[in-house]
Amino acid sequence: MRPYLPGYRGSFRSGFHMPPPYDLRLLFPMLFLVGIGIVMVYSASSAVALKDHGSDQFFLRRQALYVFPGFAVLLMCRYFPIRFLRALAYPILGLSFVSLVMVLLPGFGIKAGGATRWLRLGTISFQPAEFARLAMVVYLAYSMSKKDYKLETFSVGFVPHVMILLVFTFLIMLQPDFGTVVILFAITWILMFVGGVRLKYLLLSFLSSLPVVYLFLIGSSYRMRRIISFINPWRYAHDEGYQTVHSLMAFGTGGIWGVGLGKGYQKLFYLPEPHTDFIFSVIGEELGLMGILLVVVCFAYILWNGVKIARSAEDTFSSFLAVGLTVCVGLQACVNMGVALALLPTKGLTLPFISYGGTSLIMNMAFIGLLMNIGASQTRQESP
Amino acid sequence: MKPTEKSGINRRIYWVGAFFVCLFLIIIGKTIYLQVFQGQWLSRLAAGEYEKTLTIRGKRGTIFDRNLREMAVSVDAASIAAYPRFIQEPGAVATALAEVLNLNRAALLRKITSDRTFVWIKRQSAPSEERAIRALGFKGIDFIPEHTRYYPNRYLAAQLLGFTGVDSRGLEGLEYYFNDELTGTERSFTVLKDALGKKFDGDNSVEGVYRGNDLVLTIDRTIQFITEKALGEAVADFKAKSGLAVVMAPKTGAILAMANFPLFNPNAFRRYDRELWRNRIITDPFEPGSTMKIFSAAAAIESGGCTPNTIFYCENGKYRIGREVVHDTRSHGWLSLNMIIKYSSNIGAVKVSEMIGAEALHRTLRHFGFGEKTGLTCPAETSGSLSPYQRWSRIDTGVISFGHGMSVSVLQLVTAVAAIANDGVLMKPYVVQEIRGRNGEPIQQYHPQEVRQAVSPQTAETVKKMMASVVEPEGTGARADLHGYTVCGKTGTAQNLNEAGEYARDAYVGSFVGFVPAEDPQIAILVVIDELPYGSYGGTVAAPTFRNIARETLNYLNIPADPGVDRITAGRPRVKVNG
């Protein structure tokens, strides 16, 4: 029996007729993911943190602190006038280019684990590659909305975008960060597809790039081993397939309900980077299939709203921007999950909102802020 | 904005959405496949990777002799293990460990660079090795508390004590029989959980693990040594194969010594033939031979129709029963019962048994405990064999009266003889007098326990006197005579059966059983010398061994000589006797 509450029926009815604004529809799943992220970062990293940093809360504290600048950036993006963003497309692109160059210069870049991915500016450090995704999306959205119907031509609609992409690719491969390159390529191709670049160009260029990718892979025994171990991880369970095999074991151990928060074993030095690249496996082990479904449903809900926002955006720039941002978040989530589930070879991409990492968290919250911004401007138009 | 163009964009945005729907479906599908359908297999696989369960045992209890001198102790011997994943400089570690532990460096390096999570470097290392490696302070090396069993007296009472295996489990003897009491409490822990979450050797402390209970034996280490020494000398002197001897306190049934020769060293038991591990005093039946005549005589007297002076015709050395012929080594004519025992006449014993009948003989033998286990707290006791009298033929009754056609254990025989020394009361033999808890508190005490009145005290007294005559100069056991003490005893000789079931010509078993001093018996001793060459008898081989053991034991126990015994008799000439 429902208790009688004064005004209950009325409020229900008003909620029924007017769906909640995009602000809330994006905020809640995002908050949920960030919350799960902080809890899982603590669970996954405490052993590593204690061993490497002397405190089991080392990563927990930092991740919790990143949420504050994250919200500041989110609010900034939420209320920043979108039309100014067009004007900022090239400055942002330039800034991203400079930061990508700077990270390669000795004195600015921080080398960790065989790659130089962090740029130190004073007391803060961030990953220019994360920022490059935003710059690329804004640039593409601006460029494609400006070119309009000329998009269909090869020289105007295809070549300039790919040139910019290749410059970025070159810089990022020097770090190296293969995962981000893959994401940038995917975003560019998807956006060009959405914008109306001829499918012929997209498919042919994709096919013609395959030999290059092949040469690139066999050019490095390290990358080749990764591919071979991806095809049959169990055969290389003690070498290259090690992470994959332990990630699969984590999922298997978790079962439907999980072993319980904090009770997983695979994060204890079996999984490399349990709090970043393989946090999805830790969720699978500790929270089980139920936890996994919750996370996937949250991402799916964000993406669904992203798609809706893109469709109903007031202009093509906003529409492209929304698609780019949605694809950024969605693709990165899918690639990370795919790696953990051994559907893709190991990359080194984080799970948005959940994995440990300041730049990644702040950038992804910025994407959500921008999506809210686009969604709100269009809601304003629709509402009487 | 051109509406047509925007609609094209919107259509393609749907395609992007559909693309993501596909991705998510694949992800969820794979997750369900892994977590639901492959979950069991994967989790079993995972458990095998990270769970290495080790058990820490409390120290095994100590075994003491009756004077609380250590017979078996456990000493700390930590096992050295490694977690290869945490070893930082495998090369340096391997070099250092190889030097300290005297191991092969290459094999060691292979071990500590393997992708296993846990490897043993050395089980049960010496304390000095443990100290040296701890001092090196390598990361990834751990010490699991373990113990080794050490027998400080080496060979002493080895067959009685038994020994333990590497996992501190009793495998033979008292170590086996009292394994549950001696074993300390256990605690299992998973190596990896500790190794990764917390400090390495934080959780494998011995906290909450207690040592096992102690055993206090009735064995006296000194008497055991005396017995083993005398037995060893006899076996060597007479070119025998082996020997057994038991020393018992007749009034209580407490066993003071229990010697099996050849000896073995339980500290290195694997270097010895496993035939030597067994406590044959308890486990092996043998044909007792003439020593059984004591009990035939006791049966005759107990049945009431006989006194030591009742005379029997001994057929001048040859007595035909059906198709069989019983021989005596020396021919006798008429002998009194006392003489039959003294000269050990087989035909006399047969005549006695014919007089009292199979049932009376059987009853008395059963009363003395033959055919049933004594219940000593040792593993694998034999009950010997004594078939029901209803199945005895005439010849069976005859040969059983002088100890053939039946078998007994050494323990049964000495216990039965001790009953005669103890006014006819059969005591239950025991070798463990107390189980003590880890704080020294008694957990279980074993007290002397009467089994039954085997024969009346008067009968026992009469038999005792007959046994004393055996050790007189003309008796078969004259060589067991002791200066200043009256010895009661009986010789026995039997032939071993060979593999074909026939009596072997070169495998005699010579035995002597007796007790001393006659007036107030303090020790009962049985000596069995096995596989003697032809021509040796209980009287010539076992009797002197009995004397050696008895003399030194009485001396050690400070038992005064009998006041009534004429010391001059000590120097009298020995006569050749047959058992």
Q: Point out the residue among A246, A288, A311 whose CB comes nearest to the CB of B13.
A: A311
Q: Are B294 and B463 in contact (CB under 8 A)?
A: yes
What average pLDDT does chain A have?
A: 85
* DSSP labels, A106-143: TTTEEEETTEEEEEEETTEEE-HHHHHHHHHHHHHHHH
CB contact under 8 A, B43 and A330: no
- State the CATH class of domain B55-213: alpha beta
Q: pLDDT for B460-489, tens place per residue?
A: 999 999 999 999 888 888 888 888 889 999
Burial state string for B363-392 with b = 16 or more CB within 10 A and e = fewer than 16: bbbbbbbbbeebebebbebbbbebeebeeb
A252 and chain B in contact, CB less than 8 A: yes
Q: Are B147 and B57 in contact (CB under 8 A)?
A: yes
Residue with tokens 């000329």: A150
Distance from CA of A215 to the nearest CA of B (A): 27
Q: pLDDT for B33-55, tens place per residue?
A: 999 988 888 888 777 666 666 77
Best mutation target, B12, B196, B198, B199, to test chain A (most A CBs within 10 A):
B196
* B443-B445-B448 Cα angle (round to 5): 170
Question: Cα–Cα distance between B127 and B132 in angstroms, integer?
Answer: 9
Q: Which residues, in sequence order, are CB contacts of B110 under 8 Å at separation 6+?
A: none
* B214-B218-B222 Cα angle (round to 5): 105
The residues pairing with B452 across neighbouring beta strands, listed in sequence order, are: B426
Distance from CA of B36 to the nearest CA of A (A): 6
Burial state string for A184-208 with b = 16 or more CB within 10 A and e = fewer than 16: bbbbbbbbbbbbbbbeebbeeeeee
Q: With cut-offs at 50, 70 and 90, classify the pLDDT of residue B2.
A: very low
Q: With cut-offs at 50, 70 and 90, classify the pLDDT of residue A9.
A: very low
**Does residue A278 belong to any structural domain of this protein?**
yes
Q: pLDDT for A176-201, tens place per residue?
A: 888 889 899 999 999 999 988 888 88
Best mutation target, B5, B15, B20, to test chain A (most A CBs within 10 A):
B20
**Number of A:B CB contacts under 8 A?**
140
List the single range of A79-93, A353-367, B552-566 with lowest mean pLDDT: B552-566
List the single range of B327-336, B381-390, B563-572 with lowest mean pLDDT: B563-572
Contacts of B11 in chain A (CB under 8 A): none
Q: With cut-offs at 50, 70 and 90, classify the pLDDT of residue B495.
A: confident
The C-alpha R_g of chain B, in whole angstroms, comes to: 35
Q: With cut-offs at 50, 70 and 90, classify the pLDDT of residue B499.
A: low
Q: Kindly provide the ipTM of the predicted complex, given to two decimals.
A: 0.90
Best mutation target, A194, A257, A309, A326, to test chain B (most B CBs within 10 A):
A194
Q: With cut-offs at 50, 70 and 90, classify the pLDDT of residue B570.
A: very low
Question: Cα–Cα distance between B256 and B246 in angstroms, integer?
Answer: 8
Q: Of B117, B38, B44, B108, give the one whose Cα is nearest residue B84.
A: B117
pLDDT (average), residues B356-366: 92
Q: Point out the residue among A254, A315, A327 whose CB comes nearest to the CB of B35.
A: A254
Contacts of A194 in chain B (CB under 8 A): 9, 12-13, 16
Domain residues for A220?
A: 24-382
pLDDT (average), residues B408-432: 95
Residue with tokens 């007790």: B515
Distance from CA of B34 to the nearest CA of A (A): 5
CA B328 to chain centre: 37
Q: Of B470, B478, B431, B426, give the one whose Cα is nearest residue B450.
A: B426
Q: Are B480 and B509 in contact (CB under 8 A)?
A: no
Enter the tokens of residue A246: 């332990």
Q: What does the pLDDT read at residue A372?
A: 93
Question: Cα–Cα distance between A157 and A380 in angstroms, integer?
Answer: 32
Q: Report the SS3 class of residue B437.
A: coil
Share of chain B above pLDDT 70, in %: 89
Q: What does the pLDDT read at residue B163?
A: 92
**Does residue A16 belong to any structural domain of this protein?**
no
Burial state string for B506-521 with b = 16 or more CB within 10 A and e = fewer than 16: ebbbbbbbbbbbbeeb
Contacts of B10 in chain A (CB under 8 A): 311, 319
List the single range of A288-297, A355-364, B79-88, B198-207 with lowest mean pLDDT: B198-207
Q: Report the SS3 class of residue A331.
A: helix
Question: Cα–Cα distance between A28 and A376 in angstroms, integer?
Answer: 16
Q: With cut-offs at 50, 70 and 90, classify the pLDDT of residue A327.
A: very high
**Does residue A4 belong to any structural domain of this protein?**
no
Enter the tokens of residue A221: 């025994």
Consecutive H or E run containing B121:
strand B119-122
Interface of A with B in 296-325 (CB under 8 A): 296, 299-300, 303-304, 307, 310-311, 315-316, 319-320, 323
What number of other Cβ atoms are within 10 A of residue A84's Cβ?
A: 8
* Beta-strand runs (E) in B302-370: 311-313, 318-321, 324-327, 334-336
Top pLDDT among A125 and A246 is at A246
HEC string of A31-67? HHHHHHHHHHHHHHHHHHHHHHHCCCCHHHHHHHHHH
Q: What does the pLDDT read at residue B324?
A: 84
CB contact under 8 A, B27 and A194: no
What number of other Cβ atoms are within 10 A of residue A344's Cβ?
A: 17
A368 and chain B in contact, CB less than 8 A: no
A341 and chain B in contact, CB less than 8 A: yes
CB contact under 8 A, A341 and B27: yes
* B88-B93-B97 Cα angle (round to 5): 155
DSSP annotation of B430 reads: B
A52 and chain B in contact, CB less than 8 A: no
Annotated active-site residue B456? The verdict is no
Contacts of B49 in chain A (CB under 8 A): 246, 249, 270
Strands B119-122 and B79-82, by their bridges, are antiparallel
Enter the tokens of residue B166: 């590497």
DSSP annotation of B503 reads: E
Q: With left for phi above 0 and alpha for psi between -120 and 50, is residue A258 left, alpha or beta?
A: left
Enter the tokens of residue B90: 């495998």
Q: pLDDT for A165-175, tens place per residue?
A: 999 999 998 88
Q: With cut-offs at 50, 70 and 90, classify the pLDDT of residue A113.
A: low
Could you give the residue ranges of the DSSP H alpha helices within B284-322? 293-302
Strands B147-150 and B70-76, by their bridges, are antiparallel
Whether pLDDT at A211 is above 90: no
Q: Point out the residue among B2, B27, B115 whose CB comes nearest to the CB of A334.
A: B27
Q: Point out the residue among A193, A270, A338 whose CB comes nearest to the CB of B27.
A: A338
Q: Are B539 and B487 in contact (CB under 8 A)?
A: no
Best mutation target, A269, A325, A335, A378, to test chain B (most B CBs within 10 A):
A269
Q: What does the pLDDT read at residue B196?
A: 47
What average pLDDT does chain B have?
A: 86
Contacts of B25 in chain A (CB under 8 A): none
Q: With cut-offs at 50, 70 and 90, classify the pLDDT of residue B234.
A: very high
* Summary count for chain A: helices (H), strands (E): 13, 3
CB contact under 8 A, A250 and B46: yes
Nearest chain B alpha carbon to A43: B197
Contacts of B46 in chain A (CB under 8 A): 246, 249-250, 252-253, 265-266
Counting the structural domains of chain A, the total is: 1
Whether pLDDT at A163 is above 70: yes
Whether pLDDT at B243 is above 50: yes
pLDDT (average), residues A55-59: 87
Q: Report the SS3 class of residue B447.
A: coil
CB contact under 8 A, A238 and B115: yes
Q: What does the pLDDT read at residue B566?
A: 52
Consecutive H or E run containing B515:
strand B503-516
Q: Are B257 and B227 in contact (CB under 8 A)?
A: yes
Whether pLDDT at B193 is above 70: no
Residue with tokens 């216990």: B415
Question: Cα–Cα distance between B72 and B424 in angstroms, integer?
Answer: 36
Best mutation target, A191, A311, A336, A371, to test chain B (most B CBs within 10 A):
A311
Superfamily of B221-266+282-577 according to CATH: DD-peptidase/beta-lactamase superfamily (3.40.710.10)
User: Which amino acid does the sequence have at A252?
Assistant: G
Residue with tokens 């002799």: B65
Whether pLDDT at B194 is above 50: no
What ranges do the domains of chain B cover?
Answer: 55-213, 221-266+282-577
Contacts of A195 in chain B (CB under 8 A): 9
Q: Point out the residue among A265, A303, A343 whose CB comes nearest to the CB of B46.
A: A265
**Does residue A236 belong to any structural domain of this protein?**
yes
Contacts of B47 in chain A (CB under 8 A): 253
**Does residue A13 belong to any structural domain of this protein?**
no
Nearest chain A alpha carbon to B116: A238
Question: Cα–Cα distance between B286 and A316 in angstroms, integer?
Answer: 109
Q: pLDDT for A279-305, tens place per residue?
A: 999 999 999 999 999 999 999 999 999
